[in-house]
Structure 1
Amino acid sequence: MFRKFRQILISPHFLILIVPVLFLIIGIATIPDYGINWDSFVHFSRGQSYLNFFLTGKKNYNDFPPLVYSNCNSGNLGLLLPSCPGGGFRRSYYQNDYYNYEFWVVNDSGHPPVNDILAALSNYLFYQKLGILGDNVSHHLFILFTSFLLIIGIAYFVCQELGTFPAIVSSIVLASYPLFFSESHFNIKDPPEASFFGLAIMFFYLGVVKNKWKFILISSIAAGLALGTKLNIIFAAVIVVPWIVFYLINKFSPNFSITKVAQFLNDRRMLLLSFVVYLPISLGIVYIFWPYLWQDPARNTFNILGYYTQIGIGTPAEMSKYILYGWNIYPAYWISVTTTLPVLVLSVVGILSFWLFARLRKMEFYLFAILWLFVSIVRVSWPNADIYGGVRQIMEYVPALAILSGVGTYTLLRFRFRKVSLALIVVGLFFSIFEMVKIHPNENIYFNQLVGGLKGAQLKNIPYWGNTYGSVYLQGVKWINENSEIEAKIALPLGVMSNISRTMFRSDLHYSKPNWSGPNREGEYGIEMYFEWPMKYWYSFQYYDKYLEPVYVYSVDGVPILKVWKNDMEHTKSIFKEEISYLPKFTSIDKNILGSALNIDLGKNVFITKLVVHHAKNGCQNGSLGYIALSSDKKVWQQQIDPITSPQVAPNVDEKIIGWNDTNFVYLFAGKNTRYIMLDPQIENSCLLKNFEVNVYGLKTLP
Structure 2
Amino acid sequence: MNIKDTFKSTKNLFWGISVLLLILMAVMSQSSGSSGDEYVNYDHSEFVYNYYKTFGQDTTALNTPKTKLKYYGQAFDNMTYVINRWFNIGNYYESRHLLNSISGWLLILFTGLAASLVFGWQAGILTLLLMFFSPLILGHSWNNPKDIPFAFTYTFTLYFLIRFLIELPKRKVSTLIFLGFGIAASISIRIGGLILIPYIFLFTGLHYITKKSFYTKMGFNHAFKTILILTGVSIIGYGGGLLLWPYALEGPLKNPIDSLQQMTNFEVGLNQLFEGEIQLSQNISWYYGIKYIFIKSPLIITVGAFLFIALAVFRKDLKHKYIFFSLLLFAFIFPIAYTIYKDSNLYGGCRHLLWTYSPIVILAAGGFDFFLKKENKYIKYGTIAVIAILLFHPVKHTFKNHPLQYVYYNQLVGGTKGAYGNYEMDYYYHSLRDGADWLIDNELGDDSIIIATNHSRITEYYFRNYPQVKVIYSRFYEKGKEDWDYAIWANTHITPLQLEKGYWPPKKTIYTMDVDGVPVGAVVKRISDEDLKGFEALKKNKRTEAKNHFKNFLEIYPENEEVLEGYARIMLQERKLDSTLIYADSSIIYNPRQIGAWLLKTSALNTQKKYSEALSASNEMLEIKDDFAEGQFQKGFALKNLNKPNEALKAFQKATAYKKEYYQAMIQMGEILMNYKNYKKAIPIYDQILKYKENDLYATVCKAKCNHLQKDNIEAEKLLNTISERNQRNFEVVKAKCRIAMGKNDMNSAGTYLNMARNINNNAELFVLRGMYVMRQNRADLAKQYFEKAKELDPTNREAQDLLKSIQTKSTTVAASQNTTSEPKQQQSIMFQKPKPKKTSPITIPAK
Task: Kindly provide the amino acid, as one letter, of the partner of residue 84 in structure 2.
Answer: N
Is 1:120 the counterpart of 2:97? The answer is no
Which secondary structure does the structure 2 equivalent of 1:551 belong to? strand
Task: Kindly provide the amino acid, as one letter, of the partner of residue 295 in structure 2.
Answer: V
Listed as ranges, the matches of 1:364-383 within 5 Å are 364-382=323-341
Listed as ranges, the matches of 1:577-588 within 5 Å are 583=571
Find the counterpart in structure 2 of residue 556 from structure 1.
515
Structure 1 portions without partners, runs of 5+: 61-100, 538-543, 588-598, 611-625, 648-678, 692-703
Listed as ranges, the matches of 1:350-429 within 5 Å are 350-357=308-315, 360-361=318-319, 362-382=321-341, 384-415=343-374, 416=376, 417-429=379-391
Find the counterpart in structure 1 of residue 826 from structure 2.
none
Which secondary structure does the structure 2 equivalent of 1:307 belong to? helix
Distance in structure 2 (CA, Å) of the matches to 1:354 and 1:515: 52
1:502 CA drift (Å): 2.9
Find the counterpart in structure 2 of residue 136 from structure 1.
93
Change (3 A) 1:176 1:319: closer
Contact 1:445–1:467 (8 Å) recurs in 2: yes
Among residues 459, 475, 490, which one is paired with 2:451 in the alignment? 490
Bigger share in strand? 1
Task: Kindly provide the amino acid, as one letter, of the partner of residue 308 in structure 1.
Answer: M
Distance in structure 2 (CA, Å) of the matches to 1:119 and 1:39: 15
Distance in structure 2 (CA, Å) of the matches to 1:580 and 1:627: 13
1:580 CA drift (Å): 6.0
Contact 2:184–2:237 (8 Å) recurs in 1: yes
Which secondary structure does the structure 1 equivalent of 2:344 belong to? coil
Find the counterpart in structure 2 of residue 334 from structure 1.
292
Which secondary structure does the structure 1 equivalent of 2:426 belong to? coil
Change (3 A) 1:421 1:681: farther
**Any idea what the Cα deviations from partners look like across 1:335-364, whole Å, max 9, x if unmatched?**
222122223211221232321456631212
Find the counterpart in structure 1 of residue 232 from structure 2.
277
Find the counterpart in structure 2 of residue 457 from structure 1.
419
Distance in structure 1 (CA, Å) of the matches to 2:485 and 2:584: 25
Change (3 A) 1:288 1:167: same
Contact 1:35–1:474 (8 Å) recurs in 2: yes
Contact 1:198–1:399 (8 Å) recurs in 2: yes
1:230 CA drift (Å): 1.4
**Any idea what the Cα deviations from partners look like across 1:72-120, whole Å, max 9, x if unmatched?**
xxxxxxxxxxxxxxxxxxxxxxxxxxxxx55224446222221211222
Distance in structure 2 (CA, Å) of the matches to 1:604 and 1:231: 51
Contact 1:207–1:213 (8 Å) recurs in 2: no
The TM-score normalised by the length of structure 2 is: 0.59
RMSD: 4.4
Is 1:174 the counterpart of 2:131? The answer is yes
Change (3 A) 1:149 1:10: same
1:318 CA drift (Å): 6.4
Contact 2:427–2:491 (8 Å) recurs in 1: no
Change (3 A) 1:316 1:475: closer
Distance in structure 1 (CA, Å) of the matches to 2:211 and 2:96: 46
Contact 2:450–2:470 (8 Å) recurs in 1: yes
Listed as ranges, the matches of 1:225-264 within 5 Å are 225-237=185-197, 239-252=199-212, 257-262=215-220, 264=222
Contact 2:271–2:493 (8 Å) recurs in 1: no
Distance in structure 2 (CA, Å) of the matches to 1:207 and 1:604: 70
Is 1:444 the counterpart of 2:406? The answer is yes
Farther off after superposition, 180-189 or 572-581: 572-581
Task: Kindly provide the amino acid, as one letter, of the partner of residue 582 in structure 2.
Answer: N
Distance in structure 1 (CA, Å) of the matches to 2:26 and 2:154: 23
**Any idea what the Cα deviations from partners look like across 1:367-401, whole Å, max 9, x if unmatched?**
12211221232222326232111101011122112
Find the counterpart in structure 2 of residue 188 from structure 1.
145
Structure 2 portions without partners, runs of 5+: 531-552, 588-597, 632-661, 670-692, 699-730, 732-848
Farther off after superposition, 633-642 or 13-22: 633-642
Farther off after superposition, 509-518 or 576-585: 576-585
Change (3 A) 1:521 1:106: closer
1:607 CA drift (Å): 4.7
Bigger share in helix? 2
Which secondary structure does the structure 1 equivalent of 2:360 belong to? helix
The TM-score normalised by the length of structure 1 is: 0.70
1:434 CA drift (Å): 2.4
Listed as ranges, the matches of 1:468-617 within 5 Å are 468-482=427-441, 483-485=443-445, 486-492=447-453, 494-495=454-455, 497-502=456-461, 504-508=463-467, 509-513=469-473, 518-519=479-480, 522-531=483-492, 548-567=507-526, 569=528, 573-575=556-558, 583=571, 600-602=577-579, 605-607=582-584
1:600 CA drift (Å): 4.9
Change (3 A) 1:135 1:59: farther
Change (3 A) 1:683 1:401: same
Contact 2:452–2:484 (8 Å) recurs in 1: no
Find the counterpart in structure 1 of residue 667 from structure 2.
684
1:218 CA drift (Å): 0.7
Task: Kindly provide the amino acid, as one letter, of the partner of residue 341 in structure 2.
Answer: W
1:281 CA drift (Å): 2.0
Task: Kindly provide the amino acid, as one letter, of the partner of residue 450 in structure 2.
Answer: K
Contact 1:16–1:156 (8 Å) recurs in 2: no
Farther off after superposition, 474-483 or 23-32: 474-483
Contact 1:19–1:175 (8 Å) recurs in 2: no
**Any idea what the Cα deviations from partners look like across 1:457-486, whole Å, max 9, x if unmatched?**
125x13x2x034121111122123232343
Task: Kindly provide the amino acid, as one letter, of the partner of residue 435 in structure 2.
Answer: G
1:366 CA drift (Å): 1.6
Farther off after superposition, 339-348 or 224-233: 339-348
Change (3 A) 1:603 1:260: closer
Among residues 89, 114, 118, which one is paired with 1:157 in the alignment? 114
Among residues 198, 203, 220, which one is paired with 2:180 in the alignment? 220
1:226 CA drift (Å): 0.9
